[in-house]
Amino acid sequence: MTEVNLTVKERMSIPRHEMPLQNPVVRAHNFSEVALGYDLETAMAEAERCLQCKNTPCIQGCPVQVPINRFIMALRAGDLAKAAQIIKEKNNLPAVSGRVCPQESQCESRCTLGLKGRAVAIGRLERFVADWDLQHSQDQIEKAPATGKRVAVIGSGPAGLTCAADLARQGHSVEVFEALHEPGGVLIYGIPEFRLPKEIVRKEVAYVERLGVKVHLDCVAGKLYTVDELLHEQGFDAVFMGTGAGLPVFMNIPGINAIGVYSANEFLTRINLMKGFRFPEYDTPVHVGKFIAVVGAGNVAMDAARCALRMCGLHQDGKGSQKPEVHVVYRRSREEVPARAEEVEHAEDEGVQFDFLTNPVEILVNVSNVVTGMRCVRMQLGEPDASGRRSPVEIPGSEFVLPVDTVIMALGTRANPLTSEAAPAVERSPRGNILVDASNGRTDEPGVWAGGDVVTGAATVISAMGAGKRAAADIDAWLREKDKDNSRLPLAV
Amino acid sequence: MFKIIEKQSLTPNTDLMIIDAPEIARKAAPGQFVILRKDETCERIPLTIADFDREQGTVTVIFQKVGKSTRELGELKSGDVIRNFVGPLGKPSTIKMYGGRVILVAGGVGIAPVYPIARALKDAGNYVYVIMGARSADLIFWEDKMNAVCDELILCTDDGSRGRKCVVTEPLTELLEAPWITGHVWAIGPAIMMKFCCKTVEPFDAPIDVSLDSIMVDGTGMCGACRVEVDGQMRFACVDGPEFDGSKVNWDVVLARKKVFSQEEQEAMQVWNREHQSEH
Ligand SMILES: Cc1cc2nc3c(=O)[nH]c(=O)nc-3n(C[C@H](O)[C@H](O)[C@H](O)COP(=O)(O)OP(=O)(O)OC[C@H]3O[C@@H](n4cnc5c(N)ncnc54)[C@H](O)[C@@H]3O)c2cc1C
Ligand SMILES: Cc1cc2nc3c(=O)[nH]c(=O)nc-3n(C[C@H](O)[C@H](O)[C@H](O)COP(=O)(O)OP(=O)(O)OC[C@H]3O[C@@H](n4cnc5c(N)ncnc54)[C@H](O)[C@@H]3O)c2cc1C
Ligand code: SF4
Ligand code: SF4
Ligand code: FES
């Protein structure tokens, strides 16, 4: 490694390093990862851009406070193992967050360089270090001595996995209960392979298991067991609920139950969890037509649109008939799009079309109840509403029909419905979200914590991880405190 | 991994499996279902719990071999294992002492889900009628078992090869016309049969429950594939059902949505047939 000693000015003059991407024309036909990652040389060069600011504003932007300056310094010194170790002090799943964090609105938005030029590519560096670590580390598992305490974690999404890993490190015996046949939550069933390879998720889960966490699949809380039973019959000392927000919201318009209308969750689950993109080798079918409309413009909508495009591409190969079209239909304008800018760009490069200021009012069907079109109206932006966004208003007489054969609804999700059956006594909001003390994840039921999307509604991977971490710290403190209290009590018998 | 303790062939196209699943057996209730996945490349198949034995720790499922996935499942033997077996899912049937008699209509493979409901209703003290219908005699199974858990069993077949030669709505009408209050009716079987049972019951004002076997993926309320329309509202069969008030079900939606993947199902069946012909 050559010793480099640059001045601030020199560092600031290095341009931000672009991430190599798979060619859009090629990638529109495959499910391989789009962003290819830095190589060592590029990562080292990008690391040189960091100014090592004393007040580290970047860390304030990270929901789990990754010691960004320190890991970049270790990377700069060529000590990748140490860089990885520093990240993992705060972040159990860096190969995931490095890929899917909305960095531009979190850590990178606060970077000193971001103010003048372009921020240090913190997410890309985190991904680089984490990927290196997955390939090279012999991870020395350091754990506190066993406490004899048992914690049950419901749900194996980022919130549950993070909470489980942290508690296992503290010496507690942790068991995760997951409803589906694979662990990972949205990371496995929602976010597509080309954005987050499932191999990465499996490796991260394997790491959590090596910490001693036992993962039980096919175990639906509220059906097979309740939180009460875990605490009072099965001998768990505490329970963390990370059941997520998966319940899809549908538009209340005619034709919503027609054949060819999916929720984004169904569409993505069939493709990702059930590997529908490999039908008929894998049995689960996904029907994709030639003209697909995705309603909504969040990250979920981008994923659905890009999956639809790829499914068309796969089916069209060799047949060469009509060119498939995928449209994102959104009632506001480009400025209000909630998806990450990078995802929108990638989608556009791949050929997804955007119909802004457009709102569906009816799904048209034939006699067999199969989708034949979508009646839409044009919108214009009116006065700002309560959320500060300008609310869309219908333009009278602007109706038109989009000749679609498939409609994917990506309008958001709510708390998973079985959450209430799993813990009927835990207080929830009218929308079904679990109410907690945000500083530590405690619910109003003693011994029960919750965090992630089931508390906040659909949010981000890293905020779910942050919630899992805060709850783990509080559960650990609570268990140790309880032990102290108990030892003060006179022994029964 | 879940072990198949016993496998039986009940009719030419219907198989039974007793699965070792003590935790699910402990919680199972009439009206609930499981989702199973034979192996890594298989679909998640929802099947009603036809029986359960808490002491033996077993759950029984009965399935009709209608497509690729169920045919593959039918190739498994006693001693083989199933990769995933999740449950008990869905809301249990409402079991209580109803004022008057209860009538359960079981069509075809619907005999399976009706059995545990009949048994529980009888245990709860009800006078239980079961009407069992099938296309022909060779498709009827569990006649003795059903006889043991109901007060009166009426058999009918479309071709008259066993029991009365009629469709199930005929004895149902007769029972409803008889001067005895009907506390509750269940109809479980092909969607079209359930629809006609609801029509039959309508003028008599008797409450009727049906079990909707929508297409499902996760079974936990996360995908909406199983959505149905009941009383003008969208409901998810996997978490809000599978049993619903039959008088409020929009049957057009139920019947149409079952055909969502018919093209792909046929394609999978063709591939399966080709592969199996070349094997033999
Ligand atoms: C398509 C899509 C794309 C996204 N893209 C991004 C992105 O790019 N960046 C980003 O930061 N965020 C993204 N998100 C959001 C992010 O994935 C979620 O905020 C995050 O996964 C929430 O984590 P969680 O652990 O709270 O819940 P989840 O990941 O939803 O996990 C919950 C788990 O609990 C299980 N469960 C539910 N009910 C039960 C029960 N009764 N018993 C047992 N288990 C149960 C579920 O099966 C699931 O495995 C995306 C979300 C989706 C759907
Ligand atoms: C709650 C519930 C309980 C059920 N109980 C039983 C039972 O006890 N015995 C039994 O024989 N069948 C039952 N079914 C139906 C059974 O799940 C389907 O027959 C099976 O999935 C068909 O798979 P296949 O690949 O063999 O057939 P396919 O070729 O895929 O389809 C054949 C038929 O099955 C329907 N079907 C396909 N996939 C599904 C799916 N995922 N969910 C529901 N229906 C589907 C199709 O609409 C079609 O009519 C139940 C379904 C539900 C939802
Ligand atoms: S976890 Fe996310 S927000 Fe935090 S440093 Fe990494 S990429 Fe940035
Ligand atoms: S704010 Fe930017 S330049 Fe400063 S330490 Fe953080 S990453 Fe480096
Ligand atoms: S099967 Fe997915 S919501 Fe019911």
- Among A219, A220, A270, the residue with its CB nearest the CB of B217 is A270
Assign residue A46 the CATH number of its domain: 1.10.1060.10
Among A248-252, B61-65, B254-258, the minimum mean pLDDT is found in B254-258
| Domain co-membership, B57 together with B168 | no
| Domain co-membership, A260 together with A291 | yes
Tell me what the mean pLDDT of segment B252-277 comes to: 68
| Domain co-membership, A68 together with A102 | yes
| Domain co-membership, A103 together with A228 | no
Contact list, B24 vs chain A (CB under 8 Å): 224
Question: Is B271 in Cβ contact with A280 (below 8 Å)?
Answer: yes
CA closest to A366 among chain B residues: B256
| Domain co-membership, B158 together with B218 | yes
CB B105 within 8 A of CB B172: yes
Instruction: Give which of B51, B241, B11 is closest to B149, Cα–Cα.
Output: B51
Which of A59, A64, A463 should be mutated for ligand 3, with most atoms under 8 A from CB? A64
| Domain co-membership, A51 together with A155 | no
pLDDT-derived band at B158, boundaries 50, 70, 90: confident
The rounded radius of gyration (Å) of the Cα atoms in chain B is 18
CB of B261 within 8 Å of a chain A CB? The answer is: yes
| Domain co-membership, B250 together with B213 | yes
Confirm whether B250 is domain-assigned: yes
Confirm whether A276 is domain-assigned: yes
| Domain co-membership, A352 together with A425 | no
| Domain co-membership, A257 together with A371 | yes
| Domain co-membership, B115 together with B71 | no
| Domain co-membership, B186 together with B215 | yes
Confirm whether A143 is domain-assigned: no
Confirm whether A426 is domain-assigned: yes
Domain end: A411, A431, A458, which one?
Answer: A411
| Domain co-membership, B211 together with B234 | yes
CA closest to B254 among chain A residues: A257
* Residue A163: strand, helix, or coil: helix
Q: pLDDT value at position B275?
A: 60
Among A65-69, A156-160, A409-413, B265-269, the minimum mean pLDDT is found in B265-269
pLDDT-derived band at B127, boundaries 50, 70, 90: very high
Confirm whether A1 is domain-assigned: no
Among A3-17, A249-263, A434-448, B130-144, the minimum mean pLDDT is found in A3-17
Contact residues for B155 (Cβ-Cβ < 8 A; gap 6+): B132, B133, B140, B143, B162, B163, B164
CA closest to A180 among chain B residues: B218
Give the span between the Cα atoms of A277 and B41, in whole angstroms.
Answer: 12
Give the span between the Cα atoms of A432 and A423, in whole angstroms.
Answer: 12
| Domain co-membership, A403 together with A259 | yes
| Domain co-membership, A379 together with A283 | yes
* Contact pairs from chain A to chain B, CB under 8 Å: 119
Question: pLDDT by residue (tens digit) across B25-46?
Answer: 999 999 999 999 988 888 899 9
Confirm whether A159 is domain-assigned: yes
Contact list, B225 vs chain A (CB under 8 Å): 262-263, 266
If one counts the domains in chain A, the total is: 3
| Domain co-membership, B77 together with B113 | no
Give residue B72's domain range. Answer: 2-89
Counting ligands in written order, the one closest to the CA of A86 is 3
Average pLDDT, chain A: 88
Reported in sequence order, the residue ranges of A51-131 that DSSP labels E, i.e. its strands, are none
Confirm whether A145 is domain-assigned: no
CB of A280 within 8 Å of a chain B CB? The answer is: yes
Confirm whether B132 is domain-assigned: yes
pLDDT-derived band at B252, boundaries 50, 70, 90: confident
Does the pLDDT value for residue B273 go beyond 90?
no
CB A1 within 8 A of CB A75: no
Contact list, B219 vs chain A (CB under 8 Å): 220
Count of H-run helices and E-run strands, chain A: 20, 16
Domain end: A411, A426, A447, which one?
Answer: A411
- Among A285, A416, A417, the residue with its CB nearest the CB of B265 is A285
CA closest to A417 among chain B residues: B221
| Domain co-membership, B159 together with B22 | no
- Among B43, B224, B229, the residue with its CB nearest the CB of A248 is B224
pLDDT-derived band at A128, boundaries 50, 70, 90: very high
| Domain co-membership, A13 together with A104 | yes
Largest CA distance in chain B: 60
The residue nearest atom 4 of ligand 3, judged by CA position, is A62
Confirm whether A31 is domain-assigned: yes
User: Is the preceding peptide bond at A280 cis, omega within 30 degrees of 0?
Assistant: yes
Question: Is A181 in Cβ contact with B84 (below 8 Å)?
Answer: yes
Please name every residue paired with A174 in a beta bridge, in sequence order, or none if there are none: A151
If one counts the domains in chain B, the total is: 2
Tell me what the mean pLDDT of segment B159-179 comes to: 86
This complex has an ipTM of 0.89
- Among B37, B41, B256, the residue with its CB nearest the CB of A368 is B256
Task: Kindly state the tokens that stand for A31.
Answer: 């499910």
| Domain co-membership, B26 together with B145 | no
Domain end: B89, B121, B152, which one?
Answer: B89
Contact list, B263 vs chain A (CB under 8 Å): 287
Question: Is B23 in Cβ contact with A285 (below 8 Å)?
Answer: no
Give residue A428's domain range. Answer: 150-246+415-488
User: Is the preceding peptide bond at A183 cis, omega within 30 degrees of 0?
Assistant: no
- Among A250, A280, A417, the residue with its CB nearest the CB of B267 is A280
Assign residue B19 the CATH number of its domain: 2.40.30.10
Domain end: A411, A427, A452, which one?
Answer: A411
Contact residues for A97 (Cβ-Cβ < 8 A; gap 6+): A91, A123, A126, A461, A462, A465
Which of residues A475 and A204 earns the better pLDDT score? A475
CA closest to A253 among chain B residues: B234
CB A98 within 8 A of CB A127: yes
Confirm whether B269 is domain-assigned: no
Question: Is B37 in Cβ contact with A265 (below 8 Å)?
Answer: no
| Domain co-membership, B132 together with B249 | yes
Does the pLDDT value for residue B194 go beyond 50?
yes
Confirm whether A3 is domain-assigned: no
CB of B97 within 8 Å of a chain A CB? The answer is: no
Q: pLDDT value at position B234?
A: 93
Which of residues A117 and A110 earns the better pLDDT score? A110
Confirm whether B275 is domain-assigned: no
pLDDT-derived band at A113, boundaries 50, 70, 90: confident
CB of A179 within 8 Å of a chain B CB? The answer is: yes
| Domain co-membership, A303 together with A382 | yes
Does the pLDDT value for residue A352 go beyond 60?
yes
| Domain co-membership, A70 together with A170 | no
| Domain co-membership, B222 together with B153 | yes
| Domain co-membership, A356 together with A425 | no
Assign residue B129 the CATH number of its domain: 3.40.50.80
Contact list, A248 vs chain B (CB under 8 Å): 222-224
pLDDT-derived band at A492, boundaries 50, 70, 90: very low
| Domain co-membership, B110 together with B229 | yes
Distance from CA of B5 to the nearest CA of A (A): 20
pLDDT-derived band at A486, boundaries 50, 70, 90: low
Confirm whether B81 is domain-assigned: yes
CB of A247 within 8 Å of a chain B CB? The answer is: yes
Pocket lining: B104 vs ligand 5, CB cutoff 6 Å: no
Assign residue A354 the CATH number of its domain: 3.50.50.60
